[in-house]
Each structure stands twice: as C-alpha cells, then as structure tokens.
Amino acid sequence: METHYRTIPIRAAGDLHALCMQVVQSLRLGPGARVLDLGAGEGALSQRLIDAGFDVHAVELVPGRHRSSAPCNQMDLNRPFAELSGQLFELVVAIEVIEHLENPRHFIRECLRVVSPRGHLLVTSPNVHSWYSRIHFLRTGHLTWFDEKDYVESGHITPIFSWQMSQIARELGAEVVNRWNTSDALLWARLGDTWTSKLKRKSFYMSALYPFMRSEKSGEINVFLLRRHVSPQSSGEHLGAGA
C-alpha cells in the first residue's frame, strides 16, 4: 500500500492512486492532454499525472497546501466553479472529494461543464455498498466512513451509492461508462484485532450474510468513469453552456 508519491503524502486508500492511474492510462489521451485535478490536496496525484506527461491544473480549498509542480487555484467546490477555470479539459479527476461536498448534483454538473465534448470525468467515493458497510449499518445504523467520527474528523457528509451516480449522470446528459473498486484489505482489518475474533466474525458474516448481498459488495473505494453525451450541436460548444 502506497503512503507517498515521491515525497508527497497520499491522503487516500493506499491502492487508490495507482488504480486511478491505470484507468487514466487506459483512456489513451494524447501527449500533453489537459487534466484538471479537483480537490487535489497536497498534490500526490497531480504530480503523478504530470510525470505521466499530462498538462495538469489543480484546484484546492486550503491555500499553500498543494506541493506538486502543477499550477493550483484556490476554490470552494461547493460553489459554482466551472466559469472560474476558464478552459476545458480532456479529463477531470475528483479523488475522494464528492463525499465532502453538500450537493453531488451541483458538483457533477460543474465538472461536466469543464470537460471537453469527448472528455471524461473520474470520480471516487467510499463504497457504501460494500459488505462491511452493510454489516456496519445493520449493527450501528451508520454506513462505513459516515459515522460521527468521520463527520467530525474527515468531513464526510454525503454518501454516494453506485445507482445514485448513474442517476446523476443520466440527469445531466452523461453516463457512467465503467466502475472499479479498490481492494477489501482494510475492510477485513476492521473486523477485529485478534486472529480468533477475526475468524469468528468472518465465518459468521460470510456464511450467514454475504451470499444474500447484491450489487457492488466488494471493495473499499468506488472509482467511476463518466463521459458526456455528445450531440452534433454540442461538439463545438464553449465553456458556460450546460451539460
């Protein structure tokens, strides 16, 4: 599990950035393709994208936090931000951002406004469908990553379900073209500290509950790839037109 890229800390699940880079590379963007990294934090992913040959622009809320070599603007992503960027991008990435924001539809709408007509949007969020999250909700009434501690310490306020992301994309003239997820390693670790407690809990949960779970039950973090629908009328649209 990665904790840093070069000397920049990775403030996300240890395998998330590597998975996102695999997705980005699969898009086969041209040399120097323009990428917007929203909620870029200290810049570990921004720097990785730069090193892969992309023209990266970053956005971060906290001034002076960003440490990559990408130009970085300060913006509050709860507010309208598309027109402030002033340009379009072949790829927009928002890694572990949307769960911190007040209105996911507003955020996705603004993201799509800065995606070029044939560009993509890459969004990640905790997998609240996971088998562990369902068990945690059954026991506590809270989804994993969205209990009181996460609210206070991490600012997680908006859980995103996979079906919800598909609905949002459809409403805004886009589609979810694929979904991936990170490993279950940290979810297994949450079941207990001793090997006996882990064995007992895993045996019970997996035999009694897991076979009856449906939908995306594996993986700690969801990775969604969205694409705008492009019509002949919109192929030449400029920034400021709705998605």
CA dihedral 168, 94, 152, 149 (to 10 degrees): 80
Supply the pLDDT for residue 10.
95
Question: Mean of the pLDDT values across residues 6-32?
Answer: 95
- Section 14-43 average pLDDT: 96
Q: Could you tell me where the DSSP H helices lie in 27-147? A: 44-51, 82-85, 104-113, 131-140
Q: What is the mean pLDDT of residues 77-102?
A: 94
Question: Is 68 in contact with 40 (CB distance < 8 Å)?
Answer: yes
d(C-alpha 83, C-alpha 100), whole Å? 21
Tokens representing residue 8 in the block: 């920049």
Label residue 233 by pLDDT band (50, 70, 90). Answer: very low
* pLDDT score at 205: 63
pLDDT digit string, tens, across residues 174-198? 999 999 999 887 776 777 666 666 5
CATH classification code of 4-130+148-184+217-228: 3.40.50.150
Q: For 61-71, what is the mean pLDDT? A: 94
Q: How many CB atoms are closer than 10 A to CB 72?
A: 21
Residues 153-161, mean pLDDT to the nearest whole number: 97
pLDDT band at 139 (very low <50, low <70, confident <90, very high): confident
Lowest mean pLDDT among 45-49, 124-128, 135-139: 135-139
Q: Which of 82-86, 152-156, 225-229, 235-239 has the lowest mean pLDDT?
A: 235-239
pLDDT given for residue 207 in this prediction: 61
At 243, the pLDDT band (50, 70, 90 cuts) reads very low
Look at residue 174 and give its three-state secondary structure: strand
> Is residue 142's pLDDT more than 70?
yes
**Could you tell me the pLDDT band of residue 234, with boundaries at 50, 70 and 90?**
very low
Cα angle 84-16-143, degrees, rounded to a multiple of 5: 90
Average pLDDT score, the chain: 88
Per-residue pLDDT averaged across 104-108, rounded? 98
> How far apart (Å, rounded) are the C-alpha atoms in residues 190 and 207?
18
What pLDDT was estimated at residue 238?
A: 39
> How much is the pTM?
0.87
Instruction: Indicate the domain borders of the chain.
Output: 4-130+148-184+217-228
Q: What is the pLDDT of residue 241?
A: 36
